[in-house]
Amino acid sequence: MAEGHRGRYLWTDGFAVVNFITLFKETTDRKYLDLANRLIHTVHDILGRTRDGSARLPNATDEFPLKGGLRIGKDAASGPDGDGQYHHYLTIWMFALNRMSVASGKKWYNDQAISLAESIHPYFMINRNSERPRMFWKLSMDLTRPLVPSEGNLDPIDGYVILKLLQKTAGEKVLEREISEYKKILDTKWRRYESDDPLDLGMTLWTTHWFEKEEEWASAMTQKALHCLGKSILD
């Protein structure tokens, strides 16, 4: 991506991995899994490092390259729209790794997504032991300070759903505390959900469909999003 830092932008790269996996599923041609794998490692090697590429982000290692999170890939290093870490970009990347693990049958990808989830959670989530924890929307590249202290509308919902998918693929009770903390916020949010943003509504419907038949909040949010979408079309 020309606009991304050193050709990488985490949001579009996450969807690109999923697109390669879809092409593999449609054609059974394993070259698409090879391309997905190549892109995954390239993202880890560029967005998992400092902007000059000289070192991995703090706490990351060669074995666990995501323990420092992943940079967004914004072209600017600082400023209101500069580089940093977005929670909703990180969960999209976790999802891409999870789908790669399912498609390839290789545990490594899901394990990396789990390590990313565990590593970023304490930085994005505050007041973790309270009845209603809070989240930051955007953090600095090294995760040491919030750049946007407000809470994203869908961040706790994304976190809950994606981490549940990681847990299901792992086949064991990993990420239990993290999931429970997202659920605390989710339980206070879904009843008040409303939006007139098509992207927000589309992502809501995509996120809720994973548990629409299983959990009350997902069924209710699906209906709320469809209602808001129909209203925006009529307006």
Distance, in Å, from the CA atom of 106 to the CA atom of 91, rounded to the nearest integer, reads: 19
Which residue carries 């590429």 as its tokens? Answer: 53
Distance CA 203, CA 183 (A): 18
- 110 and 32 in contact (C-beta within 8 Å)? no
> For residue 232, what pLDDT is reported?
79
Q: In the prediction, which pLDDT does 94 show?
A: 98
- What pLDDT, on the 0 to 100 scale, is given for residue 4? 86
- Domains of the chain, with CATH numbers? 10-192 (1.50.10.10), 193-235 (no CATH)
Which residues of the chain register pLDDT less than 50? none
**Burial tier of 53 (Cβ tally within 10 Å: 0-12, 13-18, 19+):** exposed
> Which pLDDT value is given to residue 82?
95
Q: What is the pLDDT of residue 80?
A: 83
Q: Mention every residue, 6+ apart, whose C-beta is less than 8 A from residue 54.
A: none
pLDDT at 1: 52
